[in-house]
Protein backbone atom coordinates (compact mmCIF):
# COMPACT_ATOMS: atom_id res chain seq x y z
CA UNK A 1 0.00 0.00 0.00
CA UNK A 2 1.25 3.48 -0.79
CA UNK A 3 1.27 5.83 2.20
CA UNK A 4 0.58 9.51 1.45
CA UNK A 5 1.52 12.36 3.79
CA UNK A 6 -0.41 15.62 3.56
CA UNK A 7 0.63 18.79 5.38
CA UNK A 8 -2.18 20.30 7.42
CA UNK A 9 -2.78 24.01 7.67
CA UNK A 10 -5.84 25.66 9.23
CA UNK A 11 -9.01 25.27 7.14
CA UNK A 12 -7.27 22.73 4.89
CA UNK A 13 -9.88 20.49 3.31
CA UNK A 14 -9.71 17.10 5.04
CA UNK A 15 -12.54 15.63 2.98
CA UNK A 16 -10.29 12.94 1.59
CA UNK A 17 -9.28 11.78 5.08
CA UNK A 18 -12.90 11.81 6.23
CA UNK A 19 -13.85 9.70 3.20
CA UNK A 20 -11.13 7.14 3.99
CA UNK A 21 -12.51 6.80 7.55
CA UNK A 22 -16.05 6.44 6.20
CA UNK A 23 -14.77 3.70 3.86
CA UNK A 24 -13.37 1.73 6.80
CA UNK A 25 -9.73 2.66 6.20
CA UNK A 26 -7.10 3.93 8.63
CA UNK A 27 -5.86 7.53 8.88
CA UNK A 28 -3.00 8.74 11.08
CA UNK A 29 -3.66 12.23 12.44
CA UNK A 30 -2.02 14.68 14.85
CA UNK A 31 -3.41 15.43 18.29
CA UNK A 32 -2.06 17.75 20.99
CA UNK A 33 -0.67 14.69 22.82
CA UNK A 34 0.73 12.22 20.26
CA UNK A 35 -0.26 11.11 16.74
CA UNK A 36 -3.24 8.76 16.59
CA UNK A 37 -4.02 5.89 14.23
CA UNK A 38 -7.73 6.31 13.56
CA UNK A 39 -10.56 4.10 12.37
CA UNK A 40 -14.36 4.37 12.53
CA UNK A 41 -15.05 3.21 16.11
CA UNK A 42 -18.38 1.65 15.12
CA UNK A 43 -16.87 -0.42 12.28
CA UNK A 44 -15.45 -3.66 13.73
CA UNK A 45 -13.54 -4.56 10.54
CA UNK A 46 -11.89 -1.15 10.40
CA UNK A 47 -10.90 -1.30 14.08
CA UNK A 48 -9.48 -4.81 13.66
CA UNK A 49 -7.01 -3.36 11.13
CA UNK A 50 -5.62 -1.06 13.83
CA UNK A 51 -4.55 -4.07 15.91
CA UNK A 52 -3.06 -5.76 12.83
CA UNK A 53 -1.10 -2.73 11.68
CA UNK A 54 0.27 -1.98 15.16
CA UNK A 55 0.76 -5.56 16.32
CA UNK A 56 -1.30 -4.64 19.39
CA UNK A 57 -2.82 -7.13 21.87
CA UNK A 58 -6.56 -7.15 21.21
CA UNK A 59 -7.65 -7.08 24.87
CA UNK A 60 -6.34 -3.53 25.14
CA UNK A 61 -9.26 -1.10 24.62
CA UNK A 62 -9.00 1.93 22.34
CA UNK A 63 -9.82 5.55 23.11
CA UNK A 64 -12.76 6.88 21.10
CA UNK A 65 -12.20 10.43 19.80
CA UNK A 66 -15.16 12.71 19.22
CA UNK A 67 -15.66 16.23 17.84
CA UNK A 68 -18.94 17.06 19.63
CA UNK A 69 -19.97 16.45 23.24
CA UNK A 70 -23.34 15.22 21.93
CA UNK A 71 -21.52 12.09 20.69
CA UNK A 72 -20.44 11.35 24.27
CA UNK A 73 -24.09 11.28 25.32
CA UNK A 74 -24.87 8.88 22.47
CA UNK A 75 -22.02 6.46 23.20
CA UNK A 76 -21.88 6.53 27.00
CA UNK A 77 -23.79 7.27 30.19
CA UNK A 78 -22.71 10.78 31.07
CA UNK A 79 -23.21 11.91 34.67
CA UNK A 80 -23.52 15.59 35.64
CA UNK A 81 -19.96 15.42 37.04
CA UNK A 82 -18.61 13.99 33.77
CA UNK A 83 -20.47 16.71 31.85
CA UNK A 84 -18.85 19.39 34.00
CA UNK A 85 -15.39 17.89 33.48
CA UNK A 86 -15.99 17.87 29.71
CA UNK A 87 -17.00 21.54 29.82
CA UNK A 88 -13.85 22.47 31.74
CA UNK A 89 -11.25 20.24 30.03
CA UNK A 90 -12.43 19.47 26.48
CA UNK A 91 -11.11 19.79 23.92
CA UNK A 92 -7.92 18.71 25.64
CA UNK A 93 -5.62 15.89 26.75
CA UNK A 94 -8.07 14.14 29.09
CA UNK A 95 -9.77 10.78 28.42
CA UNK A 96 -12.87 9.93 30.45
CA UNK A 97 -13.75 6.28 31.06
CA UNK A 98 -17.54 6.02 31.28
CA UNK A 99 -20.13 3.22 31.20
CA UNK A 100 -20.72 2.45 27.50
CA UNK A 101 -24.25 2.33 26.15
CA UNK A 102 -24.78 -1.36 25.42
CA UNK A 103 -24.82 -2.71 21.88
CA UNK A 104 -23.29 0.28 20.10
CA UNK A 105 -19.51 -0.04 20.13
CA UNK A 106 -18.06 -3.35 18.93
CA UNK A 107 -15.86 -5.35 21.36
CA UNK A 108 -12.93 -4.62 19.03
CA UNK A 109 -13.13 -1.00 20.20
CA UNK A 110 -13.86 -1.52 23.90
CA UNK A 111 -11.65 -4.57 24.39
CA UNK A 112 -14.86 -6.32 25.44
CA UNK A 113 -15.31 -4.01 28.47
CA UNK A 114 -18.63 -2.45 29.50
CA UNK A 115 -16.91 0.95 29.58
CA UNK A 116 -15.48 3.29 26.96
CA UNK A 117 -12.67 5.85 27.05
CA UNK A 118 -13.78 9.09 25.36
CA UNK A 119 -11.77 12.13 24.47
CA UNK A 120 -12.11 15.32 22.42
CA UNK A 121 -8.63 16.26 21.18
CA UNK A 122 -7.59 19.90 20.87
CA UNK A 123 -5.36 19.82 17.78
CA UNK A 124 -7.19 21.76 15.02
CA UNK A 125 -6.54 19.03 12.44
CA UNK A 126 -7.99 16.35 14.71
CA UNK A 127 -11.01 18.46 15.64
CA UNK A 128 -11.69 19.37 12.02
CA UNK A 129 -11.42 15.75 10.88
CA UNK A 130 -13.78 14.60 13.63
CA UNK A 131 -16.27 17.38 13.01
CA UNK A 132 -16.23 17.16 9.18
CA UNK A 133 -16.59 13.38 9.19
CA UNK A 134 -19.01 13.22 12.17
CA UNK A 135 -17.37 9.86 12.84
CA UNK A 136 -16.38 8.68 16.33
CA UNK A 137 -12.78 7.64 15.76
CA UNK A 138 -11.08 4.87 17.70
CA UNK A 139 -7.39 5.75 17.82
CA UNK A 140 -4.44 4.42 19.73
CA UNK A 141 -1.05 6.08 19.37
CA UNK A 142 0.19 5.63 15.78
CA UNK A 143 3.32 3.61 16.59
CA UNK A 144 4.18 -0.06 16.33
CA UNK A 145 3.16 -1.70 19.60
CA UNK A 146 5.94 -1.40 22.20
CA UNK A 147 7.68 1.55 20.50
CA UNK A 148 7.64 5.12 21.83
CA UNK A 149 4.48 7.01 20.80
CA UNK A 150 4.93 9.27 17.76
CA UNK A 151 5.12 13.01 18.35
CA UNK A 152 5.97 13.90 14.71
CA UNK A 153 4.55 12.71 11.39
CA UNK A 154 8.04 11.44 10.59
CA UNK A 155 7.79 8.95 13.51
CA UNK A 156 4.51 7.61 12.14
CA UNK A 157 6.06 7.27 8.70
CA UNK A 158 8.99 5.36 10.18
CA UNK A 159 6.72 2.82 11.92
CA UNK A 160 3.74 2.51 9.55
CA UNK A 161 4.81 3.46 6.03
CA UNK A 162 3.34 1.05 3.48
CA UNK A 163 0.71 -0.16 5.95
CA UNK A 164 -1.78 2.74 5.97
CA UNK A 165 -3.07 5.02 3.18
CA UNK A 166 -2.73 8.45 4.81
CA UNK A 167 -0.79 10.43 7.40
CA UNK A 168 -1.89 13.99 8.19
CA UNK A 169 1.18 16.01 9.15
CA UNK A 170 0.24 18.62 11.76
CA UNK A 171 3.74 19.33 13.04
CA UNK A 172 5.23 18.46 16.40
CA UNK A 173 2.74 17.53 19.14
CA UNK A 174 2.57 20.14 21.91
CA UNK A 175 2.11 17.94 25.00
CA UNK A 176 4.22 14.99 23.88
CA UNK A 177 2.72 12.48 26.34
CA UNK A 178 -0.56 10.60 25.89
CA UNK A 179 -3.74 11.89 27.51
CA UNK A 180 -4.55 11.46 31.18
CA UNK A 181 -7.01 8.56 31.52
CA UNK A 182 -9.59 9.28 34.25
CA UNK A 183 -11.87 6.47 35.37
CA UNK A 184 -15.37 7.77 36.10
CA UNK A 185 -17.06 4.38 35.66
CA UNK A 186 -15.89 2.90 38.97
CA UNK A 187 -17.53 3.89 42.27
CA UNK A 188 -14.38 5.81 43.17
CA UNK A 189 -12.82 7.94 40.40
CA UNK A 190 -9.08 7.47 39.83
CA UNK A 191 -6.42 8.28 37.27
CA UNK A 192 -5.54 5.11 35.32
CA UNK A 193 -2.78 6.72 33.26
CA UNK A 194 -1.07 9.97 34.29
CA UNK A 195 -0.70 12.73 31.71
CA UNK A 196 -0.28 16.48 31.46
CA UNK A 197 -3.63 17.04 33.18
CA UNK A 198 -2.86 16.15 36.79
CA UNK A 199 -4.90 15.24 39.86
CA UNK A 200 -4.19 18.77 41.11
CA UNK A 201 -5.74 20.23 37.92
CA UNK A 202 -8.88 18.17 38.59
CA UNK A 203 -8.99 18.81 42.36
CA UNK A 204 -11.75 21.45 42.17
CA UNK A 205 -14.19 18.88 40.79
CA UNK A 206 -12.59 15.76 42.33
CA UNK A 207 -11.02 16.78 45.66
CA UNK A 208 -9.91 13.26 46.67
CA UNK A 209 -8.46 12.26 43.32
CA UNK A 210 -4.74 12.23 44.15
CA UNK A 211 -5.26 9.99 47.18
CA UNK A 212 -7.81 7.77 45.42
CA UNK A 213 -5.37 7.31 42.55
CA UNK A 214 -2.56 6.33 44.91
CA UNK A 215 -4.82 3.74 46.55
CA UNK A 216 -6.16 2.41 43.23
CA UNK A 217 -2.68 1.99 41.78
CA UNK A 218 -1.57 0.00 44.81
CA UNK A 219 -4.31 -2.45 43.85
CA UNK A 220 -5.16 -3.71 40.40
CA UNK A 221 -7.30 -0.91 38.99
CA UNK A 222 -5.20 0.37 36.11
CA UNK A 223 -5.76 0.98 32.42
CA UNK A 224 -5.54 -2.44 30.74
CA UNK A 225 -2.84 -1.10 28.42
CA UNK A 226 -0.53 -0.24 31.30
CA UNK A 227 0.53 -3.84 31.82
CA UNK A 228 2.27 -4.13 28.45
CA UNK A 229 5.89 -3.35 27.68
CA UNK A 230 6.01 0.16 26.32
CA UNK A 231 8.18 2.92 24.97
CA UNK A 232 11.26 0.71 25.00
CA UNK A 233 14.20 1.62 22.79
CA UNK A 234 16.56 -1.18 21.70
CA UNK A 235 19.25 -0.32 24.23
CA UNK A 236 18.94 -0.86 27.95
CA UNK A 237 17.66 2.23 29.79
CA UNK A 238 19.11 3.28 33.16
CA UNK A 239 17.42 5.97 35.24
CA UNK A 240 19.65 8.19 37.29
CA UNK A 241 19.18 11.10 39.74
CA UNK A 242 20.32 14.43 38.32
CA UNK A 243 23.36 14.77 40.57
CA UNK A 244 24.70 11.29 39.73
CA UNK A 245 24.53 11.43 35.94
CA UNK A 246 28.16 12.43 35.47
CA UNK A 247 29.66 9.73 37.72
CA UNK A 248 27.25 7.06 36.44
CA UNK A 249 28.21 7.98 32.89
CA UNK A 250 31.89 7.48 33.70
CA UNK A 251 31.28 4.15 35.46
CA UNK A 252 29.13 2.79 32.64
CA UNK A 253 31.61 3.96 30.02
CA UNK A 254 34.42 2.13 31.81
CA UNK A 255 32.30 -0.98 32.21
CA UNK A 256 31.40 -1.07 28.51
CA UNK A 257 35.11 -0.70 27.67
CA UNK A 258 35.89 -3.61 29.99
CA UNK A 259 33.23 -5.67 28.22
CA UNK A 260 35.13 -5.13 24.98
CA UNK A 261 33.08 -2.28 23.42
CA UNK A 262 35.48 -0.16 21.39
CA UNK A 263 33.80 3.20 21.46
CA UNK A 264 30.85 2.85 23.83
CA UNK A 265 27.85 4.91 22.84
CA UNK A 266 26.00 6.06 25.91
CA UNK A 267 22.98 8.20 25.04
CA UNK A 268 22.28 10.70 27.80
CA UNK A 269 18.74 12.11 28.00
CA UNK A 270 18.59 14.94 30.47
CA UNK A 271 17.50 18.48 31.25
CA UNK A 272 19.92 21.39 31.18
CA UNK A 273 20.73 20.66 34.85
CA UNK A 274 21.42 17.00 34.24
CA UNK A 275 23.81 17.67 31.37
CA UNK A 276 26.04 19.89 33.49
CA UNK A 277 29.53 18.45 33.55
CA UNK A 278 28.97 16.26 30.50
CA UNK A 279 30.51 18.67 28.01
CA UNK A 280 32.84 15.97 26.73
CA UNK A 281 30.15 13.32 26.25
CA UNK A 282 29.28 12.75 22.62
CA UNK A 283 25.67 11.56 22.57
CA UNK A 284 23.62 13.93 24.68
CA UNK A 285 19.99 14.85 24.05
CA UNK A 286 18.80 18.00 25.80
CA UNK A 287 15.24 17.22 26.93
CA UNK A 288 14.58 20.83 27.88
CA UNK A 289 14.77 23.38 30.62
CA UNK A 290 11.46 22.60 32.32
CA UNK A 291 9.12 19.63 32.73
CA UNK A 292 6.78 20.73 29.91
CA UNK A 293 9.69 20.68 27.47
CA UNK A 294 10.92 17.35 28.84
CA UNK A 295 7.45 15.86 28.27
CA UNK A 296 7.30 17.24 24.74
CA UNK A 297 10.71 15.87 23.73
CA UNK A 298 10.86 12.57 25.62
CA UNK A 299 9.52 10.18 22.97
CA UNK A 300 11.58 11.76 20.18
CA UNK A 301 14.63 11.35 22.43
CA UNK A 302 13.90 7.65 23.00
CA UNK A 303 13.57 7.13 19.24
CA UNK A 304 16.84 9.01 18.67
CA UNK A 305 18.71 6.51 20.86
CA UNK A 306 17.77 3.82 18.32
CA UNK A 307 18.91 6.00 15.41
CA UNK A 308 22.37 6.50 16.86
CA UNK A 309 22.47 2.81 17.85
CA UNK A 310 23.23 3.54 21.47
CA UNK A 311 24.71 0.74 23.59
CA UNK A 312 23.11 2.16 26.72
CA UNK A 313 20.65 4.93 27.55
CA UNK A 314 21.15 7.00 30.67
CA UNK A 315 18.06 9.08 31.46
CA UNK A 316 17.57 11.64 34.19
CA UNK A 317 15.06 10.96 36.97
CA UNK A 318 12.59 13.76 37.68
CA UNK A 319 10.71 14.48 40.92
CA UNK A 320 7.37 12.64 40.91
CA UNK A 321 5.20 15.68 41.37
CA UNK A 322 2.83 17.38 38.94
CA UNK A 323 3.89 16.68 35.37
CA UNK A 324 6.86 14.72 36.74
CA UNK A 325 4.46 11.86 37.58
CA UNK A 326 3.54 11.32 33.91
CA UNK A 327 7.16 11.71 32.75
CA UNK A 328 8.45 9.17 35.29
CA UNK A 329 5.57 6.80 34.43
CA UNK A 330 6.81 6.67 30.80
CA UNK A 331 10.50 6.55 31.77
CA UNK A 332 9.92 3.68 34.21
CA UNK A 333 8.16 1.75 31.46
CA UNK A 334 10.98 2.46 29.01
CA UNK A 335 13.44 1.12 31.60
CA UNK A 336 11.39 -1.93 32.60
CA UNK A 337 11.65 -5.49 31.40
CA UNK A 338 15.06 -5.34 29.76
Residues interacting with ligand TXA, by CB under 6 A?
31, 33-34, 36, 60-63, 95, 97, 113, 115-117, 119, 121, 139-141, 178-179, 181, 192-193, 223-226
Q: Nearest to residue 333, comparing CAs of 302, 307, 287, 311?
A: 302
Q: What is the largest CA-CA distance in the chain?
A: 63
CA distances from 15 to 24, 65, 199, 275 (A): 14, 18, 38, 46
CB of 24 to ligand TXA, least distance (A): 19
**Phi, psi at residue 198, to the nearest 5°?**
-100, 170
Which residues is 286 bridged to in the sheet? 270
Which is nearer to Mg ion, 43 or 141 (by Cβ)?
A: 141
Residues 59-98 binding Mg ion (CB under 5 A) are: none
Q: Residue 150 has what DSSP assignment?
A: P
Which is nearer to ligand TXA, 25 or 329 (by Cβ)?
A: 329
Residues 311-330 binding Mg ion (CB under 5 A) are: none
Cβ–Cβ under 8 Å, residues 181 and 117: yes
Which residues is 130 bridged to in the sheet? none
- CA distance linking residue 37 with residue 52, whole number of Å: 12
Which is nearer to ligand TXA, 62 or 314 (by Cβ)?
A: 62
CB of 304 to ligand TXA, least distance (A): 21
Residue facing ligand TXA at closest CB distance: 225
The residue range among 3-11, 99-107, 139-147, 294-302 that interacts with Mg ion, by the rule CB under 5 A, is 139-147
DSSP string, 231-261: S--SSEEEEE-GGGHHHHHHHHHHHHHHTT-
- Residue 151 binding result from Mg ion, ligand TXA, none, given CB thresholds of 5 to 8 Å by partner type: none
- Residue 3 binding result from Mg ion, ligand TXA, none, given CB thresholds of 5 to 8 Å by partner type: none
- Residue 310 binding result from ligand TXA, Mg ion, none, given CB thresholds of 5 to 8 Å by partner type: none
Q: Which of 95, 128, 133, 141 binds Mg ion (CB under 5 A)?
A: 141
Amino acid sequence: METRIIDYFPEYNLGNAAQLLADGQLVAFPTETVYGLGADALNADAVRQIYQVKGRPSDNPLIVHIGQTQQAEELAEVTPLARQIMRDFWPGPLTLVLPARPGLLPPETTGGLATVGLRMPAHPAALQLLQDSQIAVAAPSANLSGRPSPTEAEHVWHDLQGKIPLIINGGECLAGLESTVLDLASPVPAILRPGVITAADLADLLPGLAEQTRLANGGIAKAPGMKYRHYAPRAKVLLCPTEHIFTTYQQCYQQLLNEGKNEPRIAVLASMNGLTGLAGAEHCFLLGENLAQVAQNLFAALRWTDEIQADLVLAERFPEQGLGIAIMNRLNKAAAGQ
